[in-house]
Every structure is written in structure tokens, then in C-alpha cells.
Amino acid sequence: MGKTPGDLILWFFMGLFLVFSVLIGWLLLPFLSTLVLAAVVTGIFNPLYRVLIGTDKIRPSFAAFITCILIFFILFIPMFFFFGILSTEAYTLYLYGKSAVVSGQITSFLESSETIDRVNLVLSNFHIKFTAEELNRSISELGKFVGLFLFDQAKIITSNLLTFAINFFFMLLIIFFLLLDGGKLIAFIVDLSPLPREQDEKLIQKFKEMAGAILIGNGLAGVIQGVLGGLVFALFGLNSPFIWGVIMAFLAFLPIFGIGAVIMPAAIYLFLTGRILSGLFFICFYIILSFGIEYIFKPKVVGNRVKMHTLLVFLAIIGGMKLFGIMGIIYGPLVVTGFLTLVDIYHASYRKMVEPSQPVAPL
């Protein structure tokens, strides 16, 4: 049976629509990171916008403008100073590692004690042996690597301040129109989608919840842990407290290791240099801070909105950062959220359509 003219027209239209969908995606691809950030930041500041327009004295356009101004002062100004300080401290850390100053105390301590002999006695069962000089070199290389990496990242941004400023103001422009017409955009996407409305709304709601949980919950938790960790490093006289605070703020996004990847090595460093009480304080500080954030702060801020296994969140963030860079902290969990939401929709609506029907037992 041949195709009717109506079928040919439909297939031609679908092919044409697919071609232009690919072209519009290709056209917007260079702005993907800016668009995603703008959408996430809009979701965070949308309650403030709603409060402003709820007064009935401020027009929506002026309320959106005020919200964008606040975003500029809350985000852009701190980031401007942040990258300047980061660049300076990162280079200092690199110089410490390069000159082995960071671990000179460790070498002296180990060489004047029996620590190396005791450790090597245990490691001899595995045919492994190391010296204080090797430990000194390893720690120095670690400090040099971390410092140089962060210095290069900060240098890229600070040397392209004009590009950074243009992208930020472009993001503010997108946020302005999303605040005004975000509802219309969502309605357009829902109407365009062939899925039932309730499934589209479920997908959009899950994305909103995950984005809010990542940036509001994990973001605030990361800032708190990074600031407190940096202050403790500064109080105990450890080098580059700002840098280590930044690293801890990012590590706080990881649900398994977290800031322990920095705090515990610092505690070991203090033990090796003979500062036993300081090392014990670091361990207690890590336990109390981690417990307070994970079991008190996050449940109050995030609640039960994000139901995702801890290991899956960890893999999503690590995989996202490997594929997309620093933006992977957002992209990774969002991709996993989309997949898990589609799995829920499949089980609720489509599983019975795919699985073969059970044969009826004979009487």
C-alpha cells in the first residue's frame, strides 16, 4: 500500500524540522555554558523577583533589572577579587613546592626520629622502601602541581577579564529575559514536546530541584566548609590558606571524600612535624564540620528533594568534570537526574507497552 500525499508531506516536514533543530542547536552550542548558568542562577533568584513584583508597585521589567543588579554585586564583584587573590596564592604555593620549603620541616623531623625505620619495617613485607628525601620530594611535587594548576586557571581568567566581563553581562541579559518570560519559554517547550503534559512538568520540576540542590545546598555547604577550613589553616600557620580553602570548597561537592582529602593530609603533616595537639584538632574539626553539614545543614536546606545514591552523585560529578570541566559539577548531576526521571516515567507509563503480555492460564 503506497504512501498518501499526506504521509509524504508529514515526513518532509519532520525531516525539515529535524534539520533546523540541529542547526539551531549548533548555533546555540557556543553559548551552552552561559545558557545553563543563566537558567540555574535565574531559578535561584526567581523568588526574589517574585517578591518584588508581588508588591504591585514595581513593574516586572524594573523588578528584573533590580534582580540583575543584585546578582552583579553578589556574584561578579566577589569573583573579581577572588581570582586576583587565587592567582597570587597559587603562585606562592608553586614556589614553595619548587623550593621544597613546604616539606623541609618534615624531612628534618623524619631524619631525627625513628619514624622512617618503623614505616620501612612494615613496608619491607611488601618489598617497598622509601626515604625522608623521597617523601620530601613527593610533597614538594604535589604542592608545585596544585599551585601551578590553580595559577594557570586563575591566570587564564584574569588575563581575559574583558572576555569574562562580556560573558557575565551576556548571562545577566539572558537572566533578565528569563525572569520576564521564563514561564512562556517553559510553556513553549511543554507544548512542543510530544510527551504528556504531566511528564514534561515532572522532568522540568526534577531539573529545578536538582539545580537548586546543587547550587543552593552543596554550594552554600561548600562555601561554609571552604571558609572555615581556610581560616583554620591560617590560624595554625599553614601556607596558602586561601588556596586550600578554595580547594575544600570544591571538594565539598563530592559526597564521599569531601574536605577530608585536604584536612586529613594536613593533620598527618602536623603529626609528622611534631604538632600532635594541632593534628588532633584538625581531625576533630573535620569530624564535627562534616557531621554538621551532612546531617544538620543539608537536610534543612535541601530536604528530601534529591533522592540519588551517594556513589551515583560522586560518579556524576567526577564524570561531569572530566567531560565538561568545572561546569561538570552542574552538568553531571543534571544528566543523571534526567536519566533517572525518564526511568521513573518509563516504569509508570511505558513499561506495560514494551513488555509482552502474560499468557492467560488455561482453565
Per-residue pLDDT of the chain (363 residues; tens, 9 = 90+): 555 666 788 788 888 988 998 998 899 888 887 888 888 788 778 888 888 888 777 888 888 899 999 988 888 777 766 666 666 666 565 555 555 444 455 555 555 555 556 555 655 665 565 555 555 565 555 555 555 555 555 555 555 566 777 888 888 999 999 888 888 888 887 787 777 878 777 777 777 776 666 667 777 888 888 889 889 988 988 877 877 787 788 778 777 677 887 888 888 778 777 788 988 999 999 999 888 887 787 777 665 555 667 778 778 888 887 887 777 777 787 788 778 777 877 777 777 776 665 554 554
Domain boundary among 142, 171, 188: 188
359 is a domain residue: no
Asked if residue 2 belongs to a domain, the reply is no
Q: Is residue 39 in some structural domain?
A: yes
pLDDT value for 257 = 73
Same domain, 141 and 124: yes
Q: Are residues 51 and 176 in the same domain?
A: yes
Shared-domain flag, residues 332 and 229: yes
Q: Is residue 95 one of the residues assigned to a domain?
A: yes
Range of the domain at 149: 35-188
Is the domain of 182 the same as that of 235? Answer: no
Distance CA 38, CA 176 (A): 9
Q: Does 67 share its domain with 207? A: no
**pLDDT score for 281:** 92
347 C-beta neighbours (distance < 10 Å), count? 10
pTM score of the predicted model: 0.65
Number of domains in the chain: 2
Which pLDDT belongs to residue 313? 77
Measured CA distances, 161 to 138, 165, 335 (Å):
35, 6, 30
Q: 303 and 261: one domain?
A: yes
Last residue of some domain: 188, 211, 243? 188
Looking at the fold, whether 205 and 249 belong to one and the same domain comes out as yes
Distance CA 15, CA 249 (A): 47
Does 356 map to a domain? no
Q: How far apart are CA 176 and CA 156, in angstroms?
A: 28
What per-residue confidence (pLDDT) applies to 206?
Answer: 74
Same domain, residue pair 257 and 109:
no
Rg of the chain (C-alpha set): 27
Does residue 225 sit in the same domain as residue 320?
yes
- The reported pLDDT for the residue numbered 97 is 53
Q: For 129, phi and psi rounded to 5 degrees?
A: -150, 140
- Same structural domain for residues 251 and 184? no
Q: Within 10 Å of residue 61's Cβ, how many Cβ atoms?
A: 12
- The three cell numbers of residue 86 are 587565587
- Say yes or no: 344 and 198 in one domain: yes
Q: Which three cell numbers stand for residue 218?
A: 552543596
Q: Which one of 170, 188, 206 terminates a domain?
A: 188
Evaluate whether residue 360 is within a structural domain.
Answer: no
Residue 6, domain member (yes or no): no
If asked whether residues 184 and 39 sit together in one domain, one would say yes
CA end-to-end span of the chain, whole Å?
41
Contact between 90 and 145 (Cβ < 8 Å) = no
- Mapped onto helix, strand or coil, the DSSP state of residue 129 is coil
Task: Tell me the one-letter amino acid at 146.
Answer: V
